[in-house]
Structures are given as C-alpha cells and as structure tokens.
Amino acid sequence: MQRDVLIVGFGLAGWALTEVLKKQGISFVVVDAQKNSSSRVATGIYNPVVLKRFRAVWNADALMEHAIPFYMNPHYRDSFHPMPIHRILASASEQNNWAVASDKVDLSNYLNPNILNSTNFNVHSPFGVGVVESTGWIDTNRLLKQSQQELEQQHCFVGESFEYSGLDVSGNKLHYKGWRTKHLVFAEGVGVLKNPWFSNLPIIPNKGEWLIVSCKGLGLENMLKSSVFVVPLGDDIYRVGATYAREFKNNLPTQEAKAWLIAQFKKCTALPFEVLKHKAGFRPTVPDRRPIIGSHPEHKNIWCMNGLGSRGVLWAPYLAIGLVEALKDVQKISPSLDLARFK
C-alpha cells in the first residue's frame, strides 16, 4: 500500500487536492473521519466581493481564475449553480457607495453600475438592488458525495479517523497503518485542533447555522443578500443564512440562531414561509483572515492546508495548486499564506 500522497480530511481542501493530484498523475489516498465537515454544510457561495463594505476580497481575480474551472468541469455540472447576487441597498448613502465602488478597477468586473428597482415585488427593497455578476453557488455536499463515491471505487478513500499516534516518521518515507507515502497533507478543518503536528496553528472555530425554508410565490431566480443570503434551491425552496458565532456550547443548531434567521428573512419578504431544515457547522477561521498552507518546520514532508473558513469555495482550488507545486519543489509557498507566519 504505497502512495505518493496521503491526505487526511475530505472537505473542500482535501477534495481540491485530489483534483490537482489526479490531473498530474500523482497517486494518493484519502483518510476521512466523515463527521463534522464544514464543507458539507456550507452554503457554497462563490463571490469575490465583500458586500458589507463593497470591496474586492484579497487576490480576487486570481482566486476566481483558479476556482471557476474546477467547478465548471462538466463532471460536476449538477453541483454548479452560477447566478448573480442581488444586494439589497439599505439607504440612499448605500446607493451612492455602490455607484462609487462599481467604478473601481478591481470591482468593475463584478459590480453592475446600474441599480435596479423593483426586480421582484415580493422582495422588500425600497432603495433598489445592486447586481453582483460572475457569482454563484456550489452544492458542496453533492459534489463531495459524488467525488467520494468515485474515490471509493478506485480504492483511494478510507472512511475512518486518522490516529495521530499511528504515524511513523522515522524513515525517509512516512508510514501509517500499512500505508507508505512520500508526503502527508493534513486538511482536517477544525479537526486540526487535535493534531499534535500543527498544534501551534491559530485556527478558531466559528459556528455557522442556516435554515431551509419553503416560501411559495417568492420566485427568486438569483441570490439575495441583505443581512443574510437567500439562495434559491428550486421550487421556491431557499437556504437562508448563515450566522457567525465565536462562542457556542456544542455543535447543535440553536433556537437563538433560528429565531434570528427567521427575523432576517421576514425583513426581505412579507410572504408566509415554512422552515424545513436547520443545520450548523464550524468554519476553520484564522485571525488574519487568510488560509494557511505549508510544511512542518522539522518534517518537511508533513503538510497542512487549513483556515478555509471564509470563502473556502474560492480558496480551495488556488491553495491546492500552490500546495502541490510546493510539494513537488517547483514553487515556494507565498509568505502571506505560509504557516511560517505564525512562528
């Protein structure tokens, strides 16, 4: 049982790595505990604009150029849902800010300068909506399920928890439970908090919750953004979310979050609706808001890819390409993403 790379964790980080390795003909096996996956409950929106402040996310164009081809792959067609975001403008001053922002070089590809009035009479938007283009959402749960099934058929997926004490680093190859590998990549999301090899990483779990609601007659064909996102899933079923909480008791959905999400949805529309589902997950976030990739300071063939809690959909392909280049010793990791910044 010998592979070039052993990956621990199959959220979007682990998945994007497998996509890059497959393309390059590098052999791998994934070990995944199949629990507490943030990616499997993610709303899955890809959007290169910070819609609170109307500015582009760091490295926006490069993230989009790397990410979109991964999701546009015809193989994952059923999980890819390109659609604009309609940002509800809250005041005349926001209308003005939108006009200024849409004129900026780094935003002009994404923000349509024309503010739309009354696009949907069931949506409360007295100051109109600004349209964000080139955005959409990925059905991350569906995509990961499909990809996992394929990897299982190819004997590249082991559905169990990785036991850190079982890793033998004494030789020039790494050994784990009968597997021999040149490189090991940890991509365990918040699970990294139990990883003794990367215990110094400042990963902070941030709890997110969303609702699925049925709202007959709303008829949205685009995503809506006010204090929350409203994402159309088809047949007037919508995902409403998400919340952000740094303090929490456990991983269960809470009544407080549900009440807050219902209140936000009611601000968008006066139509009656029914809550069908309520879910929660933990985003792996980093204080400087940038993901983390890099190798262990002593064991250079032990790597990590983490901190995708914010815009993980956009980041995963970009990071996976960079990590594989570093693993092959072709290109160094950018210092602004390298875990060495947390020495």
Ligand X SMILES: Cc1cc2nc3c(=O)[nH]c(=O)nc-3n(C[C@H](O)[C@H](O)[C@H](O)COP(=O)(O)OP(=O)(O)OC[C@H]3O[C@@H](n4cnc5c(N)ncnc54)[C@H](O)[C@@H]3O)c2cc1C
> Could you tell me if 136 and 147 are in contact, meaning their C-beta atoms sit under 8 angstroms apart?
no
Q: Which of 41, 218, 261, 319 binds ligand X (CB under 6 A)?
A: 41
Q: Which of 20, 215, 313, 333 binds ligand X (CB under 6 A)?
A: 313
- Alpha-carbon distance of 56 to 42, in angstroms, equals 21
Residue 294 binds ligand X, judged by CB under 6 A? no
Residue 317 binds ligand X, judged by CB under 6 A? no
Segment contacting ligand X (CB under 6 A): 56-64, 127-135, 311-319, 328-336? 311-319
Q: Which of 6, 10, 220, 228 binds ligand X (CB under 6 A)?
A: 10
CB of 217 to ligand X, least distance (A): 25
Identify the CA nearest to 151 among candidates 24, 14, 324: 14
Angle of CA points 103, 317, 40, to nearest 5° = 105
CA distances from 197 to 112, 292, 303 (A): 46, 14, 9
Classify residue 189 as left (phi > 0), alpha (psi -120 to 50) or beta: left
Q: Which of 48, 136, 312, 322 binds ligand X (CB under 6 A)?
A: 312
Q: Which of 2, 24, 27, 34 binds ligand X (CB under 6 A)?
A: 34
CB of 18 to ligand X, least distance (A): 11
State the CB neighbour count (10 A cutoff) for residue 172.
7
- Alpha-carbon distance of 130 to 2, in angstroms, equals 53
CB closer to ligand X, 128 vs 213: 213
CB of 343 to ligand X, least distance (A): 22
252: which strand partners?
A: none
Segment contacting ligand X (CB under 6 A): 3-11, 70-78, 97-105, 323-331? 3-11
CB closer to ligand X, 112 vs 141: 141
Interface positions, 14-33, toward ligand X (CB under 6 A) = 14, 31-33
Segment contacting ligand X (CB under 6 A): 67-75, 94-102, 123-131, 312-320? 312-320
Q: How many CA atoms lie within 13 A of 325 on its CB side?
A: 12
Residue 239 binds ligand X, judged by CB under 6 A? no
The separation between the first and the last C-alpha atoms of the chain, rounded to the nearest angstrom, is 35
In 124-195, alpha helices (H):
140-153
DSSP 209-237: EEEEEE-TT----SEEESSSEEEEEETTE
CB of 41 to ligand X, least distance (A): 5
> Could you tell me if 222 and 201 are in contact, meaning their C-beta atoms sit under 8 angstroms apart?
no
CB of 81 to ligand X, least distance (A): 12
Q: Which of 7, 19, 44, 223 binds ligand X (CB under 6 A)?
A: 44
With CB atoms as reference, the residue minimizing the distance to ligand X is: 11
Segment contacting ligand X (CB under 6 A): 59-67, 99-107, 147-155, 310-318? 310-318
Interface positions, 209-228, toward ligand X (CB under 6 A) = 210
> Could you tell me if 256 and 243 are in contact, meaning their C-beta atoms sit under 8 angstroms apart?
no
Q: Given the rule CB under 6 A, which residues bind ligand X?
A: 8-14, 31-39, 41-45, 161-162, 187-189, 191, 208, 210, 242, 281, 283-284, 306, 308-309, 311-314
